Amino acid sequence: MRLSIILWLICLSAFADDSIKTFNGHENGVKSIAISNSGQLAISASKDQTVKVWDINSGTELRTCYGHNNDVTSISFSPDGNQAISGDLDGTIILWDINTCQVLHNFSNESEVKSVAWSPNNAYILSAHDNNMVKLWDTNTKQEIRTFIGHTDQISDVSFSPDSSKALSTSKDTTIKLWDVATGQEIRTFTGHTKWVVSAAFSSDGVFVISSSWDNTIRRWNIQTGTHRVYSDQTWVLDVSFFLDSNYALSGGKDQTLKLWDLNAGKSLCTLKGHKGTITSVAVSKTSNILLSGSSDKTLKQWQACKIPPKADFSYSKKSMTVTLDASASKAVNGNIIEYKWSTSDGQTGSGVTTSLTFQATGNYIITLTVTDSNGMTSQLQKQVDLNPDQLGKAIIIAAGGAQRGNTLFPYSNDYVQRMYNLVKQRGLTDSDVYYMNPQAPDLDDDGFQEDHLQDFNLFDPETDINKAFTEAAKNLKAGQQLIFYIHGHSRKDSFNITPNYELSAAKLKELLDLIPAGVQQLIFIDTCYSGSFLNELAGVENRIVITSTDDNSLTWQVTEMSFADKLLTQLQKGESLGGAFTFAKQFILNNTKYFSGQTPWLDDNSDGQYVDDGRLAEKVFLVKGGIHGAPPPELEVHPRIVLKDQQISTTIWTKVTSPTHDKIRKVRAILVRPNLVNAEYNGMETDFDREEIELIYNAAQNRYEIVYDKFFINGVWNIIYQAKDTDGFWSDVKMAEVEINNVPEKFIKLFLNKSSYKPASEQNLTVDVYSKDPIQAKMYLGMILPNGGGVKTLIHPYEKFGKANQINPYIRKLKINQPKTYYIKSLVPKKAAAAVSGYMFCGVLVPAAEDIKMDGSNWLALDCTGFKVQ
């Protein structure tokens, strides 16, 4: 009896359905769904070649629209909800009157349609195609306006920004591109995903983008900075959308579940079950909390969102030893906030939306706000309040060079100036003590939200901004305090490139520093090429310490793989003196000639304008104040040296964060350095500072951060540089590991299946990597070898279906291979596939493009096979 109950419970769990409504009617899998702006209607596109219109309130089918002759891949409502646009694998794009299912227009097109979108302002339609292009159409004239060209593989999804000024496209080439609708110009490319990016959507305010990929991750991107945060899932996520605002997201994918994500907390709030097939599409209404999903199980489902905790937030102001607290910025997502409780690290408590607390002694205090909503859910927020009356100094921090697209150095400058901001705050300065000068506002804790109130100057008028910062700092400084000046970016000898149109000369910097009152210690950090050239102009001021990342003439200033700034800032965080941190960072540079050939940092602390007999003063001086402040940076443990077998090009690279715990880590990255690294000379704005950086994914079972890297295409020893950032925005020391590759084939094809066992007619996902050391043109054949002498069935593109047995057709007839390429292919196991524990093989072959395959293998350039079972 007990066993029967257990089995019954297991069955109930297996067939649990959390949905509140199921929409039945399609005869094949649902590919795309949409909800009208009114929230009353839903529309769906299916592999059964139809479009269906649904009443959401009743769950009933209102009508079926016929007109497509192939799988309908995508659907989108017009803003008024009276029309819709759909596309199919034949390349047909249809404009519908959804009240009558009348075809209003057929758009002329030749390549299969992967996605369509209707602009919020009703002016445009976007269509995405398998020929790597995105097309923009005029809704009035029904004519093509322009084509967006830039992706190197087929497009999978397109969408408009809320104001219709920007367009978004995702691609099999692993990138997301942001386009200017009016000009057709590419604004930004988002890189970070490692496999096919299948969907992306804007937040309601247009500030963020959410994306999903076959690399089992969801990512939230800031469209201004390109920075992003990774959310790891255990399955391919086929569609994702923001929910409510940019703090939450809804996703669905291969595991047949719907997940609601808290993007700030970095975790899934709940998992909703009910579909019996892959979730292919999700939709969230704009006017209510209606959640819909479409699936390969032929149904749509409506869901009730799980309860979301309230968001605690507060501001404070100080007057003497009294702190006034205001929690009016706190929000309840479900219901209302009914209770506000305050507590402090010295034992005080309070309640209410606003309150005031008086402290008896100077020092740093932690204030905690706990809010409770009407559903009994709570959340907390802590902030540190500094009640030390003595000012320690001021800091002027500049990201030089400009944030324009061509400045590939800017992401590094943006990172290092934020690290310096974090560091001086951790060591005692307040936000009001820092003059932060950067075209972009900071995101100090790297949570994806810029802190606009901390951007003091955007450098749109750089000369005025810099003069004002130095004038205000000089006015508020007094003897015994410090002025910290930090600049990172582009320069030439004796002149900083602050923006493309403005330079700050060494003479002008000297003039500005002369405004600082006598007795104020000046700490000058210059992290640019030719930075040593500024020493002579800054000579002659007692108690001034100037640290430069290189000399006055070197052209090998490096930031890409590792940098002087990273080592210096990490040592300063650990409580080292300026002299100690400089000596450590300099020695690291000189000992690692592979990365820093010719680069020599300089120091002047005796005011003679040169790096001779210097360091005595700097050994006694600390940034802001002595001692260790705040938590230590993360600590890493890396994998031992990995030696790949002959012909092997992939392996799992990983690192463990030994401290702090996983919930205190914001991101972990790996920078891959190829054996053929050549240190490029600095060439101003033309210098290419791009690098191969991958964000690692947390594996809870192994308690480590990892990723499978499958592009070790060059023989020799690869260096892998690992680094972790905590939730306060501080990076760990770098840790290095090695991967040795000894015999990479000159040409190869590699196949990877998503599973080892399939059912007849089930979906099969294949990843194909191709590579050639020298550029070639080839035909690529992909085929399934049947067991027991059953022959070969080749895969036919673009239908991704198998042909008849032993009718050999190429998958791609003319494939140009001049760099590593990856193809992500979905197909169906043949319906009549016989069950076999072994004997099935999926094989790929490359042959010269001018020849057909010879079955004796005599013209095969490369071959790879992978086995699987059919049950």
- Please give the full DSSP string across 662-720, using - where no structure is assigned: GGGEEEEEEEEE-TT---PPP-GGG------EEE-EEETTTTEEEEEE----SSEEEEE
pLDDT digits (tens, 9 = 90+) for 616-662: 999 999 999 888 788 888 999 999 999 999 888 889 999 999 999 98
Burial of 344 (0-12, 13-18, 19+ CB in 10 A): middle
Helix axes 410-426, 564-573, angle to 10 degrees: 10
Six-digit token string for 138: 């005029």
pLDDT of residue 836: 64
Q: Are 552 and 535 in contact (CB under 8 A)?
A: yes
**Residue in the structure block whose two tokens are 């205190």:** 664
Q: Are 132 and 146 in contact (CB under 8 A)?
A: no
pLDDT at residue 692 tops 80: yes
Q: What predicted TM-score, i.e. pTM, was given to this entire model?
A: 0.68
Burial of 323 (0-12, 13-18, 19+ CB in 10 A): buried
pLDDT of residue 16: 66
pLDDT of residue 416: 96
Higher model confidence: residue 549 or residue 228?
549
pLDDT of residue 14: 43
Please state, for a pLDDT cut of 90, what percent of the chain lies above it: 62
In the structure, what pLDDT confidence band is assigned to residue 405 with cuts at 50, 70 and 90? Answer: confident
DSSP 8-class letter at 539? -
pLDDT digits (tens, 9 = 90+) for 528-573: 999 999 999 999 998 999 999 999 987 767 888 889 999 999 999 9
pLDDT of residue 290: 86
pLDDT at residue 8 tops 70: no
> Which three-class secondary structure string do you get for 243-299?
ECEEEEEEEEECCCEEEEEECCCCEEEEEEECCCCCEEEEEECCCCCCEEEEECCCC
pLDDT of residue 499: 93
pLDDT of residue 837: 60
Q: Are 333 and 246 in contact (CB under 8 A)?
A: no
Secondary structure (DSSP) of 565-609: HHHHHHHHHTT--HHHHHHHHHHHHHH-HHHHTT---EEE-SSSS
Using CA atoms, how far residue 732 sits from 86, 222, 707, 721, 868, in Å, is 49, 24, 19, 11, 43
Closest CA to 840 of 784, 769, 789, 774: 784
At 50 the three-state DSSP class reads: strand
Q: If you average pLDDT over residues 581-602, what whole number do you get? A: 90
Closest CA to 376 of 336, 349, 329, 330: 336
At 617 the three-state DSSP class reads: coil
pLDDT of residue 781: 94
**Percent of the chain that is helix, strand, coil (3-state, to 5):** 10, 45, 45
pLDDT of residue 389: 61
pLDDT digits (tens, 9 = 90+) for 794-813: 888 877 788 888 889 999 99
Q: Are 249 and 261 in contact (CB under 8 A)?
A: yes
At 536 the three-state DSSP class reads: helix
Secondary structure (DSSP) of 438-494: -SS---TT-SS---GGG--B--SSHHHHHHHHHHHHHHH--TT-EEEEEEEE-EETT
In the structure, what pLDDT confidence band is assigned to residue 4 with cuts at 50, 70 and 90? Answer: very low
pLDDT at residue 322 tops 80: yes
Cis bond leading into 675, ω under 30°?
no
> Which three-class secondary structure string do you get for 386-447?
ECCCCCCEEEEEEECCCCCCCCCCHHHHHHHHHHHHHHHHHCCCCHHHEEEECCCCCCCCCC
Q: Are 407 and 399 in contact (CB under 8 A)?
A: no
> Which three-class secondary structure string do you get for 765-834?
EEEEEEEECCCEEEEEEEEEECCCCCCEEEEECCCCEECCCCCCCCCEEEEEECCCEEEEEEEECCCCCC
Using CA atoms, how far residue 526 sits from 549, 592, 664, 697, in Å, is 7, 21, 31, 35
Residue 628 one-letter amino acid: I
Q: What angle do CA 130, 133, 139 make, to 5 degrees?
A: 110
pLDDT digits (tens, 9 = 90+) for 474-489: 999 999 999 999 999 9
**Residue in the structure block whose two tokens are 């969907």:** 199
In the structure, what pLDDT confidence band is assigned to residue 120 with cuts at 50, 70 and 90? Answer: very high
CA–CA distance, 212 with 607 (Å, rounded to integer) = 55
pLDDT at residue 35 tops 60: yes
CA–CA distance, 787 with 213 (Å, rounded to integer) = 33
* Pairing outcome for strands 757-758 and 862-870: parallel
Six-digit token string for 87: 């596309």
Phi-psi region of 773 (alpha: psi -120 to 50; beta: other; left: phi over 0): alpha
CA–CA distance, 545 with 535 (Å, rounded to integer) = 10
Helices (H), 305-392: none
At 514 the three-state DSSP class reads: coil
Six-digit token string for 639: 């994998």
pLDDT at residue 407 tops 80: yes
DSSP H helix total and E strand total for the chain = 7, 63
pLDDT at residue 666 tops 80: yes
Q: Are 861 and 844 in contact (CB under 8 A)?
A: no
Closest CA to 154 of 849, 820, 797, 864: 797
pLDDT digits (tens, 9 = 90+) for 732-786: 999 999 999 988 878 888 888 878 888 888 888 888 888 887 889 999 999 998 8
* Pairing outcome for strands 716-726 and 735-741: antiparallel
Please state, for a pLDDT cut of 70, what percent of the chain lies above it: 97
pLDDT digits (tens, 9 = 90+) for 842-868: 999 999 999 999 988 899 998 989 888
CA–CA distance, 87 with 117 (Å, rounded to integer) = 10
Phi and psi angles of residue 160, each rounded to the nearest 5 degrees, phi first: -105, 155
Which residues sit opposite 695 in a β-bridge? 669
Six-digit token string for 459: 């450098």
Mean pLDDT across the chain:
90
Q: Are 465 and 437 in contact (CB under 8 A)?
A: yes
Q: If you average pLDDT over residues 724-729, what whole number do you get? A: 91
CA–CA distance, 249 with 247 (Å, rounded to integer) = 7
CA–CA distance, 665 with 272 (Å, rounded to integer) = 27
Which residues sit opposite 243 in a β-bridge? 245
Closest CA to 47 of 66, 24, 29, 67: 29
Burial of 669 (0-12, 13-18, 19+ CB in 10 A): middle
Q: If you average pLDDT over residues 452-469, what whole number do you get? A: 94
Closest CA to 557 of 401, 732, 684: 684
Q: If you average pLDDT over residues 458-466, what whole number do you get? A: 95
pLDDT at residue 9 tops 60: no
Residues 6+ apart with CB under 8 A from 767: 195, 751, 752, 753, 754, 822, 823, 824, 825
Q: If you average pLDDT over residues 386-409, what whole number do you get? A: 85
In the structure, what pLDDT confidence band is assigned to residue 390 with cuts at 50, 70 and 90? Answer: low
Q: What angle do CA 553, 556, 561 make, to 5 degrees?
A: 150
Phi and psi angles of residue 316, each rounded to the nearest 5 degrees, phi first: -145, 155
